[in-house]
């Protein structure tokens, strides 16, 4: 479980397709304390919860290895990740931690495409498009997770929606590099999903 508050930006230092391309083994460098990362730990990478299979240190950085399986590669932007790419990182929530964003599972629901970027003084406004299936869970002033970042939905119009990114978020995440045409991982609000399911069962 996560909160959508990014705590580091990692760099993919190696990527190796295995199992006939159905599994990608990735090594990610970060500033996390290696002694706190155990094999089997969960780390959200651009909003995708991945399991640490090994970790260590090199060149003053902590590295950890994760595997992205076929379903993850099919549903998320992980299939486009490459060596040198940067990803938003968040460690799994511990009991007693501050819930600074909203409840995030780290199970990306799919992909949203950036339609337009408007640069404002110190801020940026993005308009995104997603599928009709996911759009029904998105509401103005509701929560959404994009590339692992907890955000508030600004406006909604059918299958498009917008978010406004404040200076701090632009400075501590990869969102500053977003542009029209970019694809990002999307996780809809868990509460919206349950509410929709309850409504369907009536």
Q: What is the pLDDT of residue 202?
A: 63
Residue 83 has pLDDT above 90, yes or no: yes
Q: What domains does the chain contain, in order, with CATH numbers? A: 8-91 (2.40.30.20), 110-201 (2.40.30.20)
- Tens digits of per-residue pLDDT, 147-182? 999 999 999 999 999 999 999 999 999 999 999 999
Rounded to the nearest integer, the mean pLDDT of the chain is 93
- Tens digits of per-residue pLDDT, 91-109? 998 877 777 778 899 999 9
Residue with tokens 């640069």: 119
CA distance linking residue 137 with residue 108, whole number of Å: 14
Angle (nearest 5°) at CA 10 between 63 and 56: 5
Catalytic sites, residue numbers: 2, 42, 49, 51, 69, 107, 152
C-alpha distances out from residue 168 to 43, 99, 118, 165, 186, Å: 22, 18, 17, 8, 21
Q: What is the pLDDT of residue 102?
A: 86
Q: What is the pLDDT of residue 94?
A: 81
> 87 burial class (0-12, 13-18, 19+ CB within 10 angstroms)?
buried
Q: What is the pLDDT of residue 100?
A: 79
């Amino acid at each position: 479980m996560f909160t959508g508050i990014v705590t580091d930006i990692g760099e993919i230092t190696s990527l190796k397709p295995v199992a006939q391309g159905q599994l990608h083994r990735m090594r990610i460098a970060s500033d996390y304390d290696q002694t706190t990362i155990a094999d089997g730990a969960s780390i959200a990478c651009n909003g995708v919860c991945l399991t640490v299979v090994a970790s260590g240190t090199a060149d003053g950085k902590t590295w950890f290895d994760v595997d992205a399986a076929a379903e993850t590669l099919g549903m998320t932007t992980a299939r486009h990740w490459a060596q040198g790419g940067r990803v938003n990182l968040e460690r799994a929530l511990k009991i007693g931690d501050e819930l600074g964003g909203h409840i995030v599972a780290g199970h990306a629901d799919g992909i949203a495409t950036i339609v337009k970027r408007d640069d404002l003084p110190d801020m940026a406004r993005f308009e995104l498009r997603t599928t009709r299936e996911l759009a029904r869970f998105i509401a103005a002033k509701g929560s959404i997770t994009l590339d692992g970042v907890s955000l508030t939905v600004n406006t909604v119009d059918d299958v498009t929606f917008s978010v406004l990114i404040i200076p701090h978020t632009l400075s501590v995440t990869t969102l500053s590099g977003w542009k029209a045409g970019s694809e990002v991982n999307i996780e809809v609000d868990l509460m919206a999903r349950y509410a929709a399911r309850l409504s369907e069962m009536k």
